[in-house]
Every structure is written in structure tokens, then in C-alpha cells.
Amino acid sequence: MFPDHDNQSTAAAAAPAQDAESEKAKAANDGNPASTGASEVVADVNAAREEATATPVPQADGDSRPEAAATPAAPGAGQEGHGKEAAAPVDAEAAAAAEEAAGSEEMSKLMEQYGEPQETASSNEIIEVKVVAYTEQGVVVDLGQKTEGLIPAVEFSETDIPRPEPNATIEVQRTSESKEGYIIVSYQKVLRRRTWERIDAAFKAKDTVTGKVVDRIKGGLVVDVGVRAFLPGSQYDLRPTQNLDNLLGQEIQVRITKLNRRRGNVVVSRRALLEEELHAKRAALMETLTEGQTVHGHVKNVTEYGAFVDLGGIDGLLHLTDLSWGRVKHPSDVVKPEQELDVIILKFDKEKQRVSLGLKQLAADPWVNAAEKYPAGGKVRGKVVGVVDYGVFVELEQGVEGLVHVSEMSWNKKVTHPSKLVKVGEEVDVVVLDIKPSDRRVSLGMKQALPDPWLQTAEKYPVGTVVTGKVRNIAEFGAFIEIEDGFDGLVHVGDVSWTGRVKNPHEVFRKGEPITAKVLKIDPENRRVSLGIKQVNDIWGDWFKAHKVGQLVKGKVSRIATFGAFVELGENIEALCHNTEIEDRRRRDEGASMHRPTTGPLKSAGPLEPGKEYDFKIIKISPETRRIGLSYRAAVKQVERREIDQYKSATKSSSTATIGDAIQSKLSAR
């Protein structure tokens, strides 16, 4: 390093005025455009400001947007088919630019204090000389014509420039000074001039130069490329670099993007080289990519909707839906940054340079053989991977998920929410109810994997069983009685009472009250149970069991109707004796005017009167409708025949008895 680049730092801005004047005088004596450390630091600051405010240079891939020059575009931005675009961080650019521009305004003001003295032609002359000797004052060289020159020792003591070897031929620059008989020459100025010439040539030819990071300043880095050059932080890499301090001491390759030799101002960029390299790789890669091709890459970054994979010059989007056949909550669950992996090209737009990638497509689609593997009716074990209001999703294998609807979760429990029964991650047994591989859907049932308690309960309470339960709900047509958890029966209004008719069930039932009823009917297909309260005390059933058609019974006439007489055969058991079964038609017609008033309630039906008991013959029985038909005249005839038969059997021994005697005896008995 040269003294005017090494022995000054940003702190020179705060030096006293007299020091600044002495440095200015020295700069004038040296005739060097960038002879002081202060001017060089100012140049660095100026470079930062110019870099932040200058119009960006078009990038290697043809992108001339301002944000493209300041900050690298988000990898994979604008990938087609995914509706996602990684926007350039404009705010971060502005902050970085402001930081670079604010490298120190004081340095800019200090720079204005220094002039740019022009050296005379003689002092600019460069000549070749031979090293003669070393002295305390410096290095003595042979200028020819018996004249010797002196390179001041300060040029070596205050810099890292090595002293030339004895007898070596070197280049020096004359000055107008002399000392103790020696003409003062400068070895350092020639080296500096040659360095600037090399840098200028590299700038014009856009060559790559190697430099060493020597300092970290606000907004970027200082890189020694022979002179101190400014590397803005945004120009170090394609993507923003979080910690530039770690780069101190490293050698890097850069390109000179701006050069002002008069002011000693050099700006370099590493990003420009990377972009050129990336552009070249991308162009070569574009010629080889085809849809359906399997390629190798590494994950560049992961977003909410997928991951961007660097294929070696171009980024492809691996969308969330193409990561796995199974459920993926976040891409980071499957891939990580810098992970290397093989992917398949699903779609390739060469014109727009967009690539859509797939990872799951490299594995077999589990739905292809799902119907054979999981037939309807089959029982399988799976893991709960999602809980929603209407059910739970169960993973049978990676990529194959089925829905257990809330109605298929329990036989007995009234499920208020699926989360009350199962949790995510829990393993459950399910039965395949239906599978449609073409729609990638499978319907599952949890309760079907267990014995149906309803059927078990139905076997426990067969028809005719008397049960006790609580009123669970009341409807217009009856009440639902809960016999056991999940096993309800309906008591219809018609099965409440034998005698009274129930119009409003709310007047008879109260929620929660215990009810005793008899099982009347079980419908397993529709899961229905019919109950009856009146059937618990089935007096009709008992009566029907004890009587049959043709049997004679005694009954009391309870009331008379226009069509016959109602006869009470027992408690709450009533039968009808129609007019046609009371007496013969002829007698009925003859006595109609005598026994039946034209108005008012009927007092009799032929020989039958309310409140009196008579013998009747059962001529009809209907257990289903609880109806009994009676005949009075048939009973009279049967009684008469029985009495005649009895009389005949009793008078077999008497030869004088006649049938007339028997009739007369019957009439006398009445």
C-alpha cells in the first residue's frame, strides 16, 4: 500500500486545521493527485454517494430496472401458474442506498479544501535507474552522467513497499528537490502511476481484478486493488449479505464499474461478475431443459407457497401442492434451504424463463391402486391429520386421505364437535364406506369399525318387553323415550290410552320424567322403536286370549245407539251388538213404533235396555283394532237349543213328556 492510501483513515476528517494545511502543502510538493489519506477517504465517500444516486447500469441478463441494479431480484419471481411473485425489496434498497450515501458528508467538505496541483514536465519524467546503495536517508540510485539520486527512506518506512534489491534496475520519477547533493526521486509515484495505468486498462477492458477486503465502512467495504476502492454492500452478492464484517481479510474478484483518476475514486462490483456468470449458465441451461426432465438442484429459499430451487443458473418454483402426495402445512416441513434434491420439470417457458418443478411426481401416485388396496367395506387403521367442523381427515398412507363425517363418528354420542372425540395425530380404526380414485376421494366411518350398540340393544329389548326410560323430546305426534344412551323409542299419541284420545302430547308428557312402556315394534333398517304406554296394562290382550268367536258371554248394555247397543264385557272393554243381531227383522219392524221414540235419547233397542245384563254370542273378534262383535238373537237361539237338548237328555226316561211341555216349562220359567 502507498502512504496516501494507508496512513489515513476516516478519522482524518477531525484533524486540526494546521494538520490539514501541512498535508495540503505536502500534496502540492508531491504533485500527486491523490497524495493524502484524507483525499482518498473522501474519494471513497464520494463513490458511495455517487453509487447510491447514479442511474443503474443495465444488468447482464438485460434487466435495466433500477431495483435490479440495487438489489437482486427474488429467486423465482413471477413463476407462472402459481400466482406468486417475489417483489424486489425496494425499501431495503432505499435504506442501503441512504447508508451508502451517508458515508460522511464531512469527508466531502474536507475534500474541497484540497487542490489538484499540476506537476511540471520535468518533474513528471520517468527514468530507469540502477540501485547503488542503501543509506540512512534512503536508497541511492545512479541517474547517469555521474549524478546520483535519492529515494527518501520515508517512502519505505511509512508504506509496505519493499526496498529494491541492490544493483536492480527500477523506474523512478524526478522531482525538483535535492538534498545533500542528491536529486530527490520518487519510487512510490512511479509504482502508483503504473498501478493507475493498470487499473484504468482493466476498467476500459472490463477485466476482472483481484482485491483484498481491508476495511468495513458505512454502506459497504474498502477493497485494495492496488488502490483503495469502494465496494457498495448491494454490489457484493446477488442477494443481500447480512454481515459484511466477516469478509475482512478475504481476497475477492471484482470488476471496476467507476473510475475517476483525477479524484482517486474507484468503485468496484462483485455482483456484476456473478450476474455475468449466472447469465452464461442460464443461457447454456436453457438449451438443455425440457418438460418431463429430471434435474438436480439445491433449495435457494423457502416461502409460504413453495420453494425456489437453483438448477444451476436458473431458479424453478417447486409449489406447495407439488411437494408431496400427502398433506403439507408448510414447505419447510418437506425441504430446507441449501438442501440438494432431484426434481422433475413440469412446465417450462423458455421465452419468459420460468420453470415449474415437481417433487412428488418422482414417486408413484398412491391413488393409482387405492381402490384395490382399500376396497369398500374394508377395515384399516389411519392417523388423524385434520379436524374440521364437519368431520375429521384420516391419512391411510402418505397421499391418501379420507373424510370421516361427523355423523359417522359415533353410534351413541351426539357429537357436538369432532375435536371432542379425536385429536390430530391420534391413530384410529376406520371402515372404507366409499372410494373414488378418479376424484381422489374416500369416505370413511369410525363407528362402523365398532359393533353397532343399537342392534345389541334391540336384541336386549325384543318386542313385548316392558321398558322404563326418560322423556327426551316431545313432538306433535308423541314423545321420544330414551331407553339407553343412543337408543330411543317413540310413544305415539294413539298408544297412550285405551279410552281417552290424546290431542296435545305436551299435556301428558314432561321432559325428563320416567315413563314405563312396552316395545311394540323394532325397525333395524331405519333404527326405529315403537313403544306403547297403554299396552303395558293390556286388558284387551288378556280378554282376547280368554275368548273366541262363538263363545257365549254375559254383558251389560252401557248405551243405546241408532245402529245398535254397546255392551260392557269387562272393565274398559266394550263390544257392539248391531241392530241386525238384536232381533229378527219382522219383529224389529213391528216394534219400531212402540219401542223407539222419534226424538230424545234412545231408551232401548228392542228387548235390550241400558243397565241390564244379557247373554250375547261372540260373532267377531279383531285384536288389531280392538273390536268385538256380539249377537243377542244368536245367543237366545243357542240358549234355547241348549235348554231343549238338556231337556231331552233329562226326559229320556219319561214316555209321556212332549216338546210342547218343554216350551211351556221354558215360558213358565221366564
Residue 408 to residues 102, 117, 426, 496, Cα–Cα distance (Å): 68, 95, 17, 34
Domain boundaries, the chain: 288-362, 370-449, 453-537, 540-647
Q: Say how far apart CA 643 and CA 640 lie, in whole Å.
A: 5
pLDDT in tens, 352-384: 888 999 998 888 888 888 888 899 999 999 999
Q: Check: CB of residue 42 under 8 Å from CB of residue 108.
A: yes
Q: Given pLDDT bands bounded at 50, 70 and 90, which one contains residue 587? A: low
Encode pLDDT of 489-539 as tens digits.
Answer: 999 988 888 766 788 888 889 999 998 999 999 888 788 899 988 888 777
Q: Coil, helix or strand for 305?
A: coil
Flag whether pLDDT at 36 surpasses 60: no
The one-character DSSP state at 503 is S
The pLDDT-based confidence of 304 (bands split at 50, 70, 90) is: very high
Assess whether pLDDT exceeds 70 at residue 602: no
What would the pLDDT profile of 270-284 be if each residue is shown by its tens digit? 999 998 888 888 888
* CATH of 453-537 given 2.40.50.140, 2.40.170.20, 2.60.40.290, 3.40.190.10: 2.40.50.140
In this structure, of 100-104, 140-144, 547-551, 581-585, the range with the lowest mean pLDDT score is 100-104
Q: What sign has the CA pseudo-torsion 569, 573, 576, 581?
A: negative
Report the run of H or E that residue 107 belongs to, with start and end: helix 105-111
- The rounded distance, in Å, linking the Cα atoms of 144 and 35 is 29
**Sign of the C-alpha dihedral computed for residues 273, 277, 283 and 286 taken in this order:** negative
| Residue 208 amino acid letter | T
pLDDT in tens, 425-463: 999 999 999 999 888 899 999 988 988 877 888 888 888
* For range 342-360, the mean pLDDT: 90
The dihedral through the CA atoms of 116, 121, 122, 126 has a sign that is positive
SS3 331: helix
pLDDT digits (tens, 9 = 90+) for 69-126: 333 333 433 444 444 444 444 455 566 566 655 543 433 443 444 333 444 445 568 8
The region of weakest confidence among 121-130, 166-175, 289-298, 510-519 is 121-130
406 pLDDT band (50/70/90 cuts)? very high
More confident residue, 606 or 227: 227
- CA–CA distance, 256 with 225 (Å, rounded to integer): 10
Give the residue ranges of DSSP H helices in 165-299. Answer: 187-205, 271-286
Residue 218 in this model has a pLDDT that exceeds 70: yes
| Share above pLDDT 90 across residues of the chain, in percent, rounded to a whole number | 29
Distance CA 52, CA 224 (A): 21
Domain 288-362: CATH architecture, name and number where available: Beta Barrel (2.40)
Question: Which residue stretches of 547-591 are H helix?
Answer: 585-590
Q: How confident is the model at residue 251 (pLDDT cuts 50, 70, 90)?
A: very high
The three-class DSSP label of residue 29 is helix
Same fold, 288-362 and 453-537: yes
540 in Cβ contact with 605 (< 8 Å): no
Provide the CATH topology of domain 540-647: OB fold (Dihydrolipoamide Acetyltransferase, E2P) (2.40.50)
Question: Above pLDDT 70, what percent of the chain?
Answer: 75
- pLDDT reported for residue 226: 87
CATH 2.40.50.140 fits 370-449, yes or no: yes
